[in-house]
Chain A
Amino acid sequence: MDDEDDLLLLNDTGENSSSLPPPVSFSEPSPMSTPAAAPLNNGLKAPPASLCWCFDLRSYQPYFDINTSDIKHRVLSSLHVWKRSATTQDVDYFLSDVLGDNPDAYGPFWITMTLVFVVSVTSNINQWVHSTEDDFESDIDSLLNAMWIIYTFSFGIPLISYFALRCLGAIQGINFMILFSLYGYSLTMYIPAALLCVVPSQAVHWLSLLVASLFSGALIFRNLVGRVMQSEETKSRAILGWFAGCQIIMFLCLKLVFYA
């Protein structure tokens, strides 16, 4: 369906694989503001056939072609996990109605960054409350820990899942950017939960992080389940188990590393 060297950025949404747009030269100026609903694969997405495309700012621009109101809408919709798609009544409201063919990288990146900051600050306040003045550790460690743990979740897991799903052949209409966007937006609920963890009480920590994990897991599950279930039963069970496992590990990591 697509070439070996540009399988990440190509918009392989399955159904329109035969009608890929012809590559357009890069001297063409990028559209400043495309309406949110319009698909973005208007030639900009096809990278040049060399390795240099990953250093070219323009190959990332389609994923930042988004307005404030769209981001606001997406962040709020990522909390409405119980909603169903308006057109098909399927449970994948976020993927089909909100993201559509237009995943962005802005939201996931900055949501993750915000979460890293909030987690490191609140875990530091917790440590500070529980420690005497002398044995208070520097914040840098918790900041670096938060950075690699949370970025592994929001970037590493979609990457591994994407390649695993591809190898298993169990992927229907999902490319890496959609998966990355979905995981990034699923972290939204963790931000208020981490803020709540300022309260130095174990019960509050467990409860708020559990609720956030359930929200995040529900968003990922509801949006992926329909697409994964189209493959064989054993395979789809294993895949769903993998997604659930990642969610549980993320939950325990946050709880035990930062709010112990």
Chain B
Amino acid sequence: MSFAPNLPLIRLLVVKDWQLFQKQLAAYVLAGIIALALLGLAKPWAFHLGATLLLVVLVAAACFAISTSLLVERKEQTLAFVMSLPVTPLDFTLAKLAGNLLTFGVPYLVLLGGTAMVILGTPIPDGFVVFAVLVFGHVLLAYGLSLAVAMRVESEGWNTFVMIASMVLVNPFIMVIGQIDAIAGPARTDAITWSAPALAILAAQILLFALAIAWTAWSLGRRPAFY
């Protein structure tokens, strides 16, 4: 068995996932523009509505990216068709990971940039950027874990559980970091302060996300056959 990935084929599979994702992306973009317009009204109710809408879009992008490209395809037995193509498990794993990271990564980065723009371009204290990045870090980690489980575990129930549980944990996570003085204190000032606890949490989030993706790629990619 060859461990050299078939890059042209992987590219085709990623493009396929990206094209199937267009409608979802258009919906996220529309919701993002509505959220930014609400934030631009500069009213407290509009700010809360806009910020909530941004978070909903972020979570929806994470869940639907996994659901469309993995869970729905599994239900429709797309893998059986893919197995008839000259594709190795390594190619398929890498294509699925790359496609998912792309379809989630684009809206994720756009929303992260939009949120930073909102904080730095409005009277909201600039220090709140650190708090927001940690919340985005949590969603990234939740997405990474959900993706890893979706690729490893066939049970739809377990997949749904992990996806919902990890995303819902964003609420307690916000409460917990809101209790840490080194994070909550500077968030109320105009200075952007990366305190030791903030850096540690962010590093842990990124490390765990990278581990989840790397472990998935390694464990699935080295299989000699799909089953």
A binds B: no
Report B's interface with A, CB cutoff 8 A. Answer: none
Chain A residues near B (Cβ < 8 Å): none
